Structures are given as C-alpha cells and as structure tokens.
C-alpha cells in the first residue's frame, strides 16, 4: 500500500501592494465554489506551523480560486511574504464562518481600515448587485499602502479614501469620514465595518446614537476555526458567542469591545518569541548559504 501524501495548495498569483501588504490567489476549486462574502479560511504553511485565519477578499468560481490580502503582522504572515507564485503550502481549510447577510437595505455604508479593507470588497459587491446604494470609506496609512481603488469605485456610489498623512484622498481616519457623512443628514440604513478593534468600536459609537444598525466582522484570535477550542469567544449582549461559527459578523452595538481588546493581547508574548526565533533561524540559514 502506498503512502498517503498530504494535499498541497498552489499559489496561482501573488501581487505585492507594499513592503508589508501582498495578495495571494490560491487554487482551491471546491472552496471557491462554496465561498460567500464575509467568510474566512484557515491556513497552515507546513508541518509544525501555526494555523491562522484569513478573511476571504475575493473568490472566483470560474477560475477556482480564493483570494486573500495579507499584511505582515507576525511570524506566519512574514513567512508567507517569502513565498512566490507557483509555491505550495500544506493546509487550507474553508470557507468557514457564517456568510454576511446580503439583502435590499437601501443605503449601506461600508467602513474598512487596516486589514479590514480587502474583506469589505466582496460584501460591498454583493450589496451593490442586490440594488443597494453604497458609500464606501477605506483608510490607509499613506499612498504607498493603497490597493484596489478601482475595484471599490466600481461598486461604490460614493468612495471616500482616507490616509493618515493626507497623501491621497482626505487626511484623517475612517471615523472622521463617517462623522462627515452622518453630519450631512443623509439617510443610512446599515453600516458594515471591518478593521482594528479600536476602529470598529469608534464606528459603533458613532452610529449608536443615530440608531443605525451596525455590524462588525469580529476577526478574533482563532485556533481551530470550528468552534471547539473556544479561543475566539466574543461577548455580545452579555452572551458568549464564537466568532468562527456564530460570526464573524456581529451586532457592533452589543459587542463588548473592552473585553475583546484585552483578550486579543493574551498571546502577545508568545507571538513575539516565535517571531524572534524565526528571525534567528533565517539569519542562520543565510549565513550557511553565504559560507
């Protein structure tokens, strides 16, 4: 009897947006056929590597691919940045999580910042194709980090680009932009936000007094991605939910963001040690090659 070999997944396309942000389009026909806006995948590069969740930034059922936009924030994402088109990795599981509820709402505002900009795209596209009016607010640090502006323009009735330094669009934060939109008095039927916890918390506070339904994609720390480990628990309206199976979309007005921000820090020391170990190993390998 032959040895059963683990399946390998291939990087169909890689695109670099900035020194710390890049795109992977991965061949995964079964996953692409089943994917919906708002879902995520779990990835492991190799045996002994960590499992990390990545939100689906796009999917193409005809090409059979899943697209993710990745920002280097730790050991695994830094290692991912070294992979090239045609390279393979070991584990790719999904789509996971409940899809975003897409419906005819009227006027929907999308707010994305940091790692949350890319996942906004398939949700925006789906809402627009449903016939909604769309306003999209995306925030970047500077011009160098901007990507997919043309894609967002295609499905946005109004696209607002914010940069920290004002190099493109308007200077300021996504919250500043939403304040401006709210002050115009325009009717807003729903807000959907993805990004850093602090950003989503501010967005939720801005819409709370206006009683505008607001949903946040809670991309909390995940380990198994199927609700068994309990690592991704989120307190919503006093109840404990799991982002990987009950979400990731949750009522932003009911999320305990204070608790979430504390919980997100619990593996910070371990992550730092792992990243330092990776850097040490890389330097050792480089010296070996040079020698």
Local structure of 183: helix, strand or coil: helix
Beta bridge partners of 240: 235
Structure confidence at residue 266 as a pLDDT band (50, 70, 90): low
Helix (H), strand (E) at residue 76: helix 75-80
Query: What separation in angstroms does the CA of 27 have from each of 35, 44, 120, 158?
Result: 13, 15, 22, 33
User: Does CATH number 3.20.20.80 belong to domain 107-263?
Assistant: no
Residue 228 has pLDDT above 80, yes or no: no
Structure confidence at residue 46 as a pLDDT band (50, 70, 90): very high
Domains 9-96 and 107-263 share a fold: no
Q: Quick one: three-class SS letters along 247-289?
A: CCEEECCCECHHHHHHHCCCCHHHHHHHHHHHHHHHHHHHHHH
Alpha helices in 167-246 (DSSP H): 174-183, 197-208, 243-246
Rounded CA-CA distance 243/280 in Å is: 34
Query: Domain map of the chain by residue range?
Result: 9-96, 107-263
Rounded CA-CA distance 60/126 in Å is: 14
Residue 288 has pLDDT above 60, yes or no: no
CATH numeric code, 9-96 = 2.40.30.10
pLDDT tens column, 144-158: 899 999 999 999 999
The token duo for 28 is 């995964």
- Nearest CA to 18 out of 115, 136, 121, 120 is that of 115
């Amino acid at each position: 009897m032959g040895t059963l070999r683990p399946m390998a997944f291939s990087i169909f396309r890689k695109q670099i947006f900035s020194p710390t942000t890049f795109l992977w389009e991965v061949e995964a026909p079964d996953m692409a056929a089943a994917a919906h806006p708002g879902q995520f995948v779990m990835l492991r590069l190799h045996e002994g590597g960590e499992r990390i969740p990545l939100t689906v930034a796009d999917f193409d059922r005809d090409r059979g691919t899943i697209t993710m936009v990745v920002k280097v924030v730790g050991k695994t994402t830094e290692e991912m940045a070294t992979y090239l088109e045609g390279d393979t990795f070991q584990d790719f599981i999904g789509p996971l999580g409940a899809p975003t509820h897409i419906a005819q709402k009227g006027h929907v505002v999308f707010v994305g910042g940091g790692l949350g900009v890319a996942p906004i795209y398939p949700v925006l596209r789906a809402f627009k194709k449903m016939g909604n009016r769309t306003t999209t607010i995306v925030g970047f640090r500077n011009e160098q980090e901007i990507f997919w502006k043309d894609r967002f323009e295609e499905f946005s009735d109004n696209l607002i680009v914010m940069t920290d330094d004002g190099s493109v669009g308007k200077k300021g934060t996504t919250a500043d932009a939403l304040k401006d939109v709210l002050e115009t008095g325009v009717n807003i039927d729903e807000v959907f936000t993805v990004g850093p916890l602090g950003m989503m918390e501010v967005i939720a506070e801005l819409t709370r007094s206006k009683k505008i339904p607001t949903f946040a994609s809670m991309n909390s720390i995940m380990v198994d991605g199927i609700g068994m480990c309990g690592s991704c628990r989120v307190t919503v309206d006093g109840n404990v939910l799991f982002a990987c199976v009950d979400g990731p979309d949750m009522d932003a007005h009911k999320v305990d963001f204070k608790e979430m921000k504390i919980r997100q820090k619990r593996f910070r020391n371990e992550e730092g040690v792992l990243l330092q170990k990776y850097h040490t190993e890389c330097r050792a390998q480089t010296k070996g090659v040079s020698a």
